[in-house]
Amino acid sequence: MAGKHLQSPDASPCAGWPGLVCTSHGTEKINGRMAVIWSMTPGESGQGGALTVWLDRQRGMPLKQVLPDGATMSRRLLGTETVSQRQAEKWEITVTAANGASSVSYQWYDDGLGTTIREEQPGGYVRDVYEIRTGPQPASLFTVPDAYSKVEVEQGQLPLR
């Protein structure tokens, strides 16, 4: 199960997102890791400015992003640590706003599960996944509740309750 990633870095990140146009710009090394560079532009005309994203070749997760207003995000692998009795990669994420204000957060990514199992955000917010048990799960976990009903919502609208 090792080697999972969020998406194929060579596949267009715009797939499934109507109204976005993606263009590949080759590869580049970011913080010691190979990345595929993509520009993402809203609409066919490209009006509104492009987001540029560097997707990690191994994981498919963004290593760097540059927004049209100049804001940036960078992700750097710090090493591995044990979290919830599992080996996880510790990543440092730095976000810098267009005005220069920046913040740093941390994520622990479990390659075997293909997901983040711990996050630490500025201000003391921490999210942990614990008591992780892999293997077959009881079918009852996947039973649709009796009160479930599907609600169709048009794009841009919020469902009313």
Q: What is the pLDDT of residues 27-75, one digit of tens each?
A: 999 999 999 999 999 876 556 788 999 999 988 899 999 999 999 999 9
Strands of 72-83's sheet in order across:
20-30, 33-42, 51-56, 62-66, 72-83, 86-96, 102-110, 115-120, 126-128
Per the domain annotation, does 7 fall within a domain?
no
Per the domain annotation, does 1 fall within a domain?
no
Which residue from 64, 121, 67 is spatially nearest to 98, judged by alpha carbons?
A: 67
Better-scored residue on pLDDT, 45 or 17:
17
Structure tokens of 111? 């390659």
Question: Do 75 and 125 reside in the same domain of the chain?
Answer: yes
Question: Do 52 and 73 reside in the same domain of the chain?
Answer: no
Q: Residue 2: its pLDDT value, please?
A: 44
Structural domain span for residue 125: 69-134
CA distance 1 to 115: 12
Q: Residue 133: its pLDDT value, please?
A: 87
Per the domain annotation, does 75 fall within a domain?
yes
Q: pTM for this one?
A: 0.77
Question: Do 50 and 87 reside in the same domain of the chain?
Answer: no
Question: Do 54 and 85 reside in the same domain of the chain?
Answer: no
